[in-house]
């Protein structure tokens, strides 16, 4: 038995130790790893009617992945332009949502983290309570605000700023707002947690030594908050790229999110292998992108967990 396991059992007793270990293993292996492995397995198999499963046609194939790149065999185009476009657009949009969220949330997190007083708790509550409302309702509420005859257009046209209503939905503004809003807390709280532990004297020391406010942030606050920023950005990026409800409700008719394609494959086309392949591509690409960005900004995996 490796040393750390021995210590773990010594500390918790055999019964409690086995129980805890069993639960953690059940969670990671049973609920995460095995289902994902079966998805991976699906993605390499052809979509067959049930009687043929396990039959001679049930062989491993790259067909589902090829489909994303080249489209249906004998199709009119060389590449699957529609799906690829949706795929890259989703990634770019998720990056944009992440950056937009960071710009919006960093000042809020900084204010919450560095200000003393009871009103901070009220602010935090005001941020949390809207999340008791479920995602679908929140998304539809945004539709009411951004719709053609919605609150915002009524105001803009009524006050004479616009002559005709602006189509926030078709221009994806509603979608970005919805996605941004959906994950705001996941950006604010990791950053807030780190900044709260930053000694205010360091900010004052930097100021005393002549630094203007933006250099204090650049040199003192942001380097300190880096673990929180990376943790927040990773979560927001992963969740926006994988979001379904907000694109479904707030997306324009012509703008599909990649998750919607996956959903269509699973649900509308009943093509699980194809859906699984798409999902795996999205997952792997997102992970690689996150790792690359972490490397670029010299963030360690351990920092994310902070």
- Where on the chain is the footprint of other proteins (CB under 8 A)? 199, 201-202, 204-212, 215, 219-220, 223-224
Determine the Cα angle at 296 with ends 295 and 298, to 5°: 60
Give the nearer residue to other proteins in terms of CB position, either 215 or 295: 215
Question: How many whole angstroms separate alpha carbon 27 and alpha carbon 72?
Answer: 38
Q: What is the 3-state secondary structure (H, E, C) of 145-186?
A: HHCCCCHHHHHHHHCCCCCCCCCCCCCCHHHHHHHHHHCHHH
Min dist CB 297 to other proteins, Å, is 14
φ, ψ of residue 10 to 5 degrees: the values are -60, -40
Report in angstroms how near the CB of residue 101 gets to other proteins at its nearest. 24
- 30 conformational bin, left if phi > 0, alpha if psi -120 to 50, beta if neither: alpha
Q: How far is the CB of 199 from other proteins (least distance, A)?
A: 6
CA 292 to CA 13: how far, in whole Å? 42
Q: Residue 161 or residue 209: which is nearer to other proteins going by CB?
A: 209
Q: Shortest gap between Cβ of 221 and other proteins (angstroms)? A: 11
Closer of 66 and 207 to other proteins (Cβ): 207
Contact by Cβ (8 Å): 246, 178: yes
Q: Which residue number, 51 or 302, has a Cβ lying nearer to other proteins? A: 302
Nearest-approach distance from CB 29 to other proteins, in angstroms: 38
DSSP 201-238: HHHHHHHHTT--HHHHIIIIIHHHHHHHHHHHHHHHHH
Shortest distance in whole angstroms from residue 196 CB to other proteins = 16
d(CA 54, CA 52): 6
């Amino acid at each position: 038995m490796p040393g750390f396991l021995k210590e773990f059992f010594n500390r918790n007793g055999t019964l409690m130790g086995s129980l805890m270990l069993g639960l953690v293993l059940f969670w990671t292996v049973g609920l995460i790893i095995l289902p994902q492995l079966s998805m991976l397995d699906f993605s390499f198999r052809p979509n067959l009617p049930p009687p043929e499963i396990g039959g001679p046609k049930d062989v491993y194939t790259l067909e589902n992945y090829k489909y994303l790149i080249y489209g249906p065999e004998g199709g009119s185009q060389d590449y699957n332009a529609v799906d690829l476009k949706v795929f890259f657009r989703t990634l770019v949009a998720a990056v944009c949502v992440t950056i937009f969220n960071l710009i919006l949330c960093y000042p809020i997190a900084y204010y919450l983290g560095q200000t003393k007083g009871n009103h901070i708790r009220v602010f935090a509550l005001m941020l949390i309570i809207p999340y008791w409302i479920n995602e679908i309702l929140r998304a539809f509420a945004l539709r009411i605000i951004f719709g053609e005859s919605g609150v915002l257009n009524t105001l803009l046209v009524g006050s004479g700023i616009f002559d005709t209503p602006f189509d926030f939905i078709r221009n994806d503004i509603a979608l970005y707002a919805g996605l941004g809003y959906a994950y705001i807390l996941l950006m604010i709280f990791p950053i807030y947690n780190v900044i709260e532990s930053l000694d205010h004297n360091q900010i004052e020391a930097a100021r005393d030594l002549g630094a203007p406010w933006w250099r204090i942030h650049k040199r003192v606050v942001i380097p300190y908050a880096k673990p929180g920023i990376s943790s927040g950005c990773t979560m927001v990026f992963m969740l926006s790229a994988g979001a379904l409800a907000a694109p479904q409700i707030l997306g324009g008719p012509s703008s599909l999110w990649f998750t919607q394609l996956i959903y269509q494959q699973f649900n509308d086309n009943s093509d699980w292998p194809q859906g699984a392949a798409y999902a795996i591509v999205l997952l792997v690409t997102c992970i690689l992108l996150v790792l690359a960005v972490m490397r670029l900004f010299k963030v360690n995996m351990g920092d994310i967990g902070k």
